[in-house]
Chains A and B, each alone.
Chain A
């Protein structure tokens, strides 16, 4: 029997509900308000239970709620619908499809309106892969349907425990997500009907794989500073903290276009709606070079922007990672980008404040760290039961108060991620984009280039920075020519390799192969000895070399000019090293 309750308190988006019967932590309920003609059911979730009173956060505006308003408990945790048709969708944090909501409600979001995440009418061409009598467990493939460019696996529901026998499986044909496509029998002989859609509680990790492996393969993003110097691995985690305007969102937007993965899930978490609009209006128009199809075909957008209900913002990152994990089960590489995880942390802080919990640093809840750790732990590179591999990579931006990284969210995140791309105000002010600080940032993952070679150039960056500090004090006059050349080298390395113009079609993304090619030349320029005795001449040389590189960076690598320019630069370096 369904448990019922009644409101006994309202404080912001938090309600206290007295109930009869049994309820569970994180169980979802609905508050019913209004009269019969105009009834609204507002979704809410239990966040604490004390005796016969449950404290619940409401995923909507709580205006007009009253003491004694009835609450129905659903018996379920907050779940996501998983099945074919997730790709290309634009959902809110609770997986409501926003375009369909707009069709129904117009310009504004209307509280209490919930729509099915997966379309119930669409027919999918199902091809069975399992046969009657097969013994399967959760996550094993029953059949497939084509979803855009992917072969979408219809799997044994993740929630089923132990081995099941296929009692019947439907013939190839077109079905909706609600039609039964198979019947499984569990160890005790109970029949379990299966459709192409399943539900999964978003706050629980999906782990129907054989084993989790160490992330060891670079996930190229096309951003040279990342792939070469501070790489990300498939199945790894990374964070991008930075003050406002430093370029976090632009960096994620370029990554979402160019990252070498199968599927990208974008979780726009509590930041500007306008930025999501750019993505959702532009992606359908942009061709994905790897597939020739629209970029939207491989994208899912979860959009719970800053003015949307705060509790749903908290749910949005979990919804995002659940959808990402679902596609990983099909042997795909999925990238989840969350912008910004600080807004999620702030949602937790608001909740914690309303619960009057004892606050930690900057009033964030004491359990913030473990929640952040848990979230990033849902990334991973896995071997599935059929021997194929899949991954979920998570990249989150962090928006630290005052741009100061010494704050709880940045610090807690740094403890658990595998790479750190710290954006600096100084670099973005100087328009050195991407503003990833080459001295502060780090990564534990393998680069597209050999470690030792990268390390040598890193040293030049560090030493060049030291010299530039010194020049500020003693002037160029007081700097030795050798130091000065190191400084010029580091400036050039920064300008031609680290800096990248996100708005130039060619320069915006550099594929791994081209990075290796470029690196050969840059390395040559960096490691050559130039016997200049005159600073003016040295500067002139590096300036013109820099310009050559930048021009080269903007040439399509398919053009013959690409090779010509590379060779010319190579020659220029050799000549300078020989004669100067």
Chain B
């Protein structure tokens, strides 16, 4: 073997090795996301743990809380949706500033067209747009808000719930730009403002002493009520639906859970699934 040839082989071998290394690094960096989410599909019922791939995303959790919202049941029970909203907003001291510019909301109502703008609105059947659609954070299994947050003030817990650390948040609002669902609100001003007589200006239903209020300059949103789940209670909004079964809450990755069974036996849709975020809130229309 002449020197040239030997050198060539050496170089070829080295570059192949480098290539292999690079390609696996590449997979780690960029494809980790895609691989995990492919495996994760169908994960609605089959429990699975995402392999630890790259740093690129919050990993799918074995346990993923989710919610099914049954719209016809809300349509049949006038005022039920409003009850859910009031329950959540009281429970979490969500301020009401009375104007759209400062608005903060954790759960709210909209029509079909604006809840599912990516679904076809073409020759929509009559009445569809009059349905009351409850909207909240989707606790995405692949949440872009978590990816965007520069301080990890927004993070996903072991139960797939996307929560906020109000004390760490710097108020950059990158997460608001990143959320494709408009689920996040910012405290544009101080929600704790009081009148001279000590009453709160913006907590319209009074103060819930069991949940902290926020300071101005931080972001907030629905947190799936971890403080209630910890003591074995359902989320406040779910509790407000009573036994109507208009909202079902639970671990969507446990095939034996009630929610998994509901998902298995009903046609459900999600908001903007094309964004690849894997929302954990499902709708029966």
- Whether chain B is bound by chain A comes out as no
B binding-site residues for A, Cβ under 8 Å:
none
A binding-site residues for B, Cβ under 8 Å:
none
